[in-house]
Every structure is written in C-alpha cells, then in structure tokens.
Amino acid sequence: MRLGMLTACLPGLALEEIADWAASRGYEALEVACWPGTGGRDFEAAHLPVASFGEREADATRELFARHGLELSALAYYENNLHPDPARREEIRAHLRHAIDAAAALDVPYVGTFVGRDWTRPVAENLAEAERILPPLVEYAGERGVKLLIENCVMEGWHPDGYPGNLAYSPELWEWMFSLGLYLNWDPSHLTWIGIDPVETIAPYIDRIPHAQAKDVELRPRDRQRYGHFGPATGREANPWDMGWWRYRVPGLGQVDWPRVVDRLYEAGFTGTLSVEHEDPVWGGDETRVKQGLDIAHRTLRPLIVG
C-alpha cells in the first residue's frame, strides 16, 4: 500500500510544484486531476493537458515523477457521464477519452470518473441509459490497458433536491456497475454519512477496489434533528453542497476509524494507493491552509501504512 494524494485541492499550482511539495512531505503517489480547466465546480483542476497530450508531454511527466520518486497512481476526471444536456454529455465523454489516452501513454492503469445521473429522470431510466453508454467507454479504456474507476461519492449537489447525483453510492449499485466492467475508487467518507459501515464493505468487494481515497467526514447529529437525513429542503440554491448536518474533513478529524480501515484493507490484500482527497473547509481556502490539512492527513495515515 502506498500513501498518495489527489492534486485537485491545489488547482492554482502546477503539477511540478505539487510533485516537489508532496515528495518533500512524505507522500509516495499522486492521483492527478485532469479537468479541462474551463470552469464549473470550484475544485476543478487541470494538472495534465490530456486533450493535447503527446509524446513530449508524456516524456516530461515521466521524468517529473521519476525525479521526485513518485508514482502516478491514477488520472482523475470526475464528471457526470449521464448529464441531461446531450451536448454537455458529449463534451464529458470526449474529455474522458482524452484522459484514457493520456493514461495509456503514461502506463497509468486507472482513470477515475463518475457514473453520474440525469436528475430529470428516475433511477431506473438512468441505469438503463448507463448500460447503453458506459460499456463502450469501458471497452475503449480496456483496449488501451486502462481500467475505469468510479468513486462512490453521492454528488448530492448535482441534484436540485439534494438526492444522489451519482448512481454509485451503495454496494447495491456497485454490484450493478461491476457488471458493466467498472471498478471502484473506494472512499469511506461517503459511506459513513449515508449510514453504511465502510469497514464492512472492504472484504466483499476487494477484488474490484484497486485504488482508494482517504477522506474523513464529521457528523453533527444535533443538526440532523432539524433537517433529517436528506438535509435542507429550502434555500439549497445558496449552496447545493451544504447538507446541514455533516461536512468533509481530512483524515483524523472526523468519524472514520482509520486504524480499522487500513487494517482491513491490508487483511483483504489491498496493494494499491490510498489517496488523500482534501475537501476540508476548515483546512481550506488558500494554499497554506490546504497544505497544512494535507500534513494533518499524512500524520494520521503514515503510521498505519507499512513502510
């Protein structure tokens, strides 16, 4: 097992700057964000120009990672592959293919994305649509030696009412997506707030978990007494990502039991990268605070991982 980090939390830095800092702080791998950098969610980051990626870029990237002794564990382009706007959906699909091509050029085995959801249609119709459009992407990746990873994030902010916007949030849905040839970028934080014990999901699905993300979550049960499990019903326009009774934290500052998680990953035979995904609002807002949060995450997880 290697300890890595997702670069998306530092969108203002170049990949070379992130690699230099991460290696100096003891991180062993980077999960590299490769959004197109055209706006959208405020945590988009474009750390590899995958749409224009060629041999020169591949050589430079390999040299950068070799110089810092880092592994490039996966490319990250987490977007809505079931977007209701056909034009936007095609943009996403085209960029995902670019990410797959770049991963293949770099011998990176994984590209991460979302199943997503068309929030104007019921779940059953979304699943049927996914069964039509996702297998060709799985095949495209497989022909290039790449596996598509799906993170189990709920993406409640994509749905106007705060309901799941990514149909990959539960083991029930994992089993469905595995049948399409997809793999799981397992993240315990999302499971925790929806009421699933993350530790109990490791062993049954370990053969489809080649990569994992380390994010924590702080639950506030007293606030849940006002909103219920589904969060605020009014005023969501101001911040569609605020569920009112929980927030993401860096590992060690929330409810996730990291000694149990890492131990169970080892017991199940996990040999991939555990990649810190920093979305902690307390340790965010500027580069200094984000890096301090990443240091907290490293201090929490590093003692648990066999050197």
Q: Which residues pair with 273 in a beta bridge?
A: 2
How many domains, in total, are found in the chain?
1
Check if the beta carbon of residue 21 is closer than 8 Å to that of residue 86.
no
For residue 234, give its domain range.
2-304
pLDDT at 43: 53
Copy the structure tokens of residue 46: 């474009």
Predicted local distance difference test score (pLDDT) of residue 137:
98
In the block, residue with structure tokens 């020169």: 56
Q: Tell me what pLDDT residue 42 has.
A: 47
pLDDT computed for residue 38 by the predictor? 57
Handedness of CA 293, 295, 298, 303 (dihedral sign): negative
CATH number at residue 20: 3.20.20.150
List per-residue pLDDT tens for the chain, 307 residues long.
999 999 999 999 999 999 999 999 999 999 999 999 854 454 579 999 999 999 999 999 999 999 999 999 999 999 999 999 999 999 999 999 999 999 999 999 999 999 999 999 999 999 999 999 999 999 999 999 999 999 999 999 999 999 999 999 999 999 999 999 999 999 999 999 999 999 999 999 999 999 999 999 999 999 999 999 999 999 999 999 999 999 999 999 999 999 999 999 999 999 999 999 999 999 999 999 999 999 999 999 999 999 7
At residue 237's C-alpha, the angle toward residues 233 and 238, to 5°, is 110
Q: What are phi and psi of 83, to 5 degrees?
A: -55, 140
d(CA 247, CA 59): 39
Q: Which pairs from 126-133 meet CB under 8 Å and 24+ separation?
A: 126/82, 126/167, 127/167, 127/176, 129/82, 130/81, 130/82, 130/167, 130/177, 130/180, 131/180, 133/81, 133/82, 133/93
